[in-house]
Amino acid sequence: MQAQGKSKPTPYRGTLTPKSASEGIHIAKTNATRLLDDAETLFKNGRYPSACALTVLAIEELSKPAIIRKIVIAESPQEIARAWKLFSSHLDKGAPWILPQLIKGTATYEDFVEEFMRNRNPILLDSLKQISIYCGCYGKSHWSSPSEVIEKDQAELLIATARILNLSGQPSPLDSEEGIRLWKSHMKGCFSVGYVTANNKIVEFFAKAADHGLLPENRIPESAAFDFMTTVLVLSDGEVEEQKRMFGIPFTGDT
């Protein structure tokens, strides 16, 4: 129990060393798996709204490694502050949740990225989390109860989506201190670029990782595909910012 008079812990918002970044990525991925396991336990016991809410949290945690990679390559106080705002933003961390649906209809990685940039909805997942947890009053004085709004099929679909994301966001040698050091060196100057540039630089990074013995071959491992697809999105946040303006969302971190 926290001693009386003490405030909550002060969030760190500075630079990250490769060692610290590696640790953060490992913890985020491990925590995502824990949250998803807990969500499935709740689902099996018919607690669909709570299962849904925990699944959203798991998806948000799965997005953090990509943002940590962005923090690592930040080169100015302004970039560092902007990257940490992304880290705190529920909307930005939840944006990649539609990836599994889009992958089914695209032929190449480049096609997929373009499709994702057109179809991402930064509001929907966060709204789902809110109605899974809280009662609310909407429209013409209509009260919403999580137990009445969130049904089994909805929770089941979201958990299935999160499982796909989790399986393709597993720990890898690219998360190691050596992998992060190589990432920082190769991705210098790519803090905020177009998604085509981000994609091309990341493909080059895989080749370098293979040369350094971090990957068995020059290609993205399936177990890390979501991790780096999300990284493309995070590095192209200038284009994401424009999409958020279209939705009427301010480009700031959520508290």
* Span 190-200, pLDDT tens digits: 999 988 899 89
Output the pLDDT for position 6. Answer: 63
Question: Residue range 16-39: average pLDDT?
Answer: 97
Copy the structure tokens of residue 102.
Answer: 């889009």
In tens, the pLDDT along 118-156 reads: 555 556 677 778 889 889 888 888 898 999 888 998 899
Q: What is the pLDDT of residue 93?
A: 54
Tell me which residue has tokens 């990957």: 215
**Helix/strand/coil for 162:** helix
Where does the pLDDT of residue 84 fall: very low under 50, low under 70, confident under 90, or very high at 90 and above? very high
Q: Write out pLDDT tens, residues 169-181.
A: 899 999 999 999 9
Percentage of residues of the chain with pLDDT beyond 90: 47
Decide: 32 and 164 in contact? Cβ < 8 Å.
Answer: no
Helix (H, G, I), strand (E, B) or coil at 7: coil
Taking the C-alpha atoms of residue 190 and residue 15, their distance in angstroms, rounded to an integer, is 16
pLDDT value of residue 65 = 95
The 10s digit of each residue's pLDDT in 38-77 is 999 999 999 999 999 999 899 889 989 999 999 999 999 9
Higher pLDDT, 127 or 85: 85
Domain boundaries, the chain: 18-247
Q: What is the pLDDT of residue 191?
A: 95
Rounded to whole angstroms, how far apart are CA atoms 51 and 56? Answer: 9
| Helix pair 77-88, 48-72: axis angle to 10 deg | 170
